[in-house]
Structures are given as C-alpha cells and as structure tokens.
C-alpha cells in the first residue's frame, strides 16, 4: 500500500474534506496534526517546498499539494494510479 501522510489542523475544513475523500476510498493515511506545534509546522513547510497551508498531502514522500489538488487527482482518475503504483 502507498504511504500517505497528511498534515492537518484539527478544525480546518479543507483538512476534514481531504480526509473524508481518503476515508471514502478506503485509503489508509498517517495524520500529522500541527496545531500549535511550530516544529512540526516547520517540517511540513520544508517538505512542501515552502507551502504553509494545510492540509499538505504526501504520497510516498511526494508532495501532491492540498485538498484542491487531491480532489483534482481524484477527478482525473490519477489518485488511484498513484496509490496503486506502490501496492
């Protein structure tokens, strides 16, 4: 199974929406909450090539962006391909 990581804030509507899509597809992921944790936020920003918004989503250590990008991958049928590449 592909390794999926998602940096989140607890009450972020985009984070909730991204997790809902992953959940609906049965995709397991590691949630990395950064609420109030400056060190974790810095690590996310470095991994995400300077992006500071949440969520930031990584599939097999490749940053795919946030919620909009995740839904775009789903809409173009590329999300399943990314996940299946590493099964």
| CA distances from residue 42 to 6, 49, 58, 66, 77 in whole angstroms, order as listed | 14, 11, 15, 16, 31
pTM for this entry: 0.94
Which helix (H) or strand (E) segment holds residue 31: the answer is strand 30-33
Question: How do residues 9-58 score in pLDDT, each as one tens digit?
Answer: 999 999 999 999 999 999 999 999 999 999 999 999 999 999 999 999 99
Domain residue limits, the chain: 4-84
State the pLDDT confidence band at 84, using cuts at 50, 70 and 90. Answer: confident
State the pLDDT confidence band at 85, using cuts at 50, 70 and 90. Answer: confident
Looking at domain 4-84, its CATH architecture is: 3-Layer(aba) Sandwich (3.40)
In the prediction, which pLDDT does 87 show? 52
């Amino acid at each position: 199974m592909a390794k999926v990581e998602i940096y989140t804030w607890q009450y972020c509507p985009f984070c909730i929406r991204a997790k809902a899509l992953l959940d609906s597809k049965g995709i397991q992921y590691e949630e990395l909450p950064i609420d109030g944790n400056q060190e974790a936020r810095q690590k996310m920003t470095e991994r995400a090539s300077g992006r500071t918004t949440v969520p930031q989503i990584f599939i097999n250590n490749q940053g795919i962006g946030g919620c909009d990008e995740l839904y775009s991958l789903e809409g173009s049928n590329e999300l399943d391909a990314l996940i299946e590449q590493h099964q």
